[in-house]
Amino acid sequence: MSDAAQNELRARARELLEAGRVDAVLGYAEGTIAGRTTPVLARKPDEADKLVLNRQCVNNLTVYLNRPEIKKIGKMAIVAKPADIKAIFVLIQENQVAPDSVEIIGVTTVPECSVLPQRTHKELLDYLVKNVLPTELDADDLAEVAKLDAMTPDQRWAYWQEQYAKCIRCYACRQVCPLCYCARCIVEKNRPQWVETSPHERGNLAWNITRAFHLAGRCVGCGECERACPMGIPLMKLNRKLAREVRDSFHGYVAGYACEGDPVLAGYRPDDPNDFFE
């Protein structure tokens, strides 16, 4: 852990609270278990000293931004890693978070902890693209997708059947995802019953495929779903497969690289590909 980075984070949070620029700062604090962190809200300047910045700061805190109890507090500053910042931009694009309702305190935790320069949303995105984020999907991740592509359809079907058979339908993947924000999830709708709720082959396949398609063109690759899965299902493989297909089919679009305009699947362009009609 870098003490200098942590002190800079606390100073930034204290400054925002003292100046009245935000009503609270959402960040990380030491957890009740050694080596773990927990989300924390700092609402007074002296509470900024609770904030920590280390490699255990793994949760994507943007999952809280869309919650009514958080929104009613007022303007929020949030400690956000690069993937988390991308999630914020998607939430702004989808009109779930107002741009002027959130102040981003950008941080990195790999390989060293640091606090990013203070910028407007657009300037911060430009800085990330230039200095932190790759301009394409990660090559190692796409290599894993290529391995699946190399399988025959029967082999892929068997692979996913084996993976999804592990699912216990705990919905941890949904709960940690900042882009699963529906007030009522499709699995909770039973008139009609869109997705069977029991953890068996048919229901598990329907749930996992439905969720992956709901994230197509939206997933920012934070990996929280896979990290939270108690059964070790490689959920990000399918998410990355869909992200690659969206990128290749829609003019290089990758989710989280814009903080204005419509998401790719929420708009229409005359030159969008239409070969799927054939």
Name 79's bridge partners: 105
Pairing of strands 102-108, 114-115: antiparallel
What pLDDT does 135 receive?
A: 61
Mean pLDDT, residues 214-220: 95
What pLDDT does 201 receive?
A: 87
Mean pLDDT, residues 197-215: 91
pLDDT of 277 > 70? The answer is: no
Residue 23 — pLDDT band, cuts 50, 70, 90?
Answer: very high
The DSSP result for 202-253, as a single string, is HHHHHHHHHHHHHTTTT-----HHHHH-TT---HHHHHHHHHHHHHHHTTT-
pLDDT of 268 > 70? The answer is: yes
Q: Above pLDDT 90, what percent of the chain?
A: 72
Mean pLDDT, residues 41-58: 97
Residue 2 — pLDDT band, cuts 50, 70, 90?
Answer: low
CA–CA dist 213, 218 (Å, integer): 10
CA–CA dist 82, 114 (Å, integer): 12
Question: Using the 8-state DSSP alphabet, how is residue 25 labeled?
Answer: E
pLDDT of 171 > 90? The answer is: yes
Burial readout 125-149 (b: 16 or more C-beta within 10 A, e: otherwise):
beebeeeebeeebeeebbeebeebe
pLDDT of 1 > 60? The answer is: no
What pLDDT does 125 receive?
A: 87
What pLDDT does 230 receive?
A: 97
Residues 109, 112, 114, 119: is their CA dihedral positive or negative? negative
CA–CA dist 38, 44 (Å, integer): 18
Mean pLDDT, residues 136-160: 91
Residues 90-142: pLDDT tens digits? 999 999 999 999 999 999 998 899 999 999 998 998 898 888 877 668 888 88
CA–CA dist 131, 274 (Å, integer): 35
The 3-state secondary structure of 37-76 reads EEEEEECCHHHHHHCCCCCCCCCCHHHHCCCHHHHCCCCE
Question: Using the 8-state DSSP alphabet, how is residue 126 labeled?
Answer: H
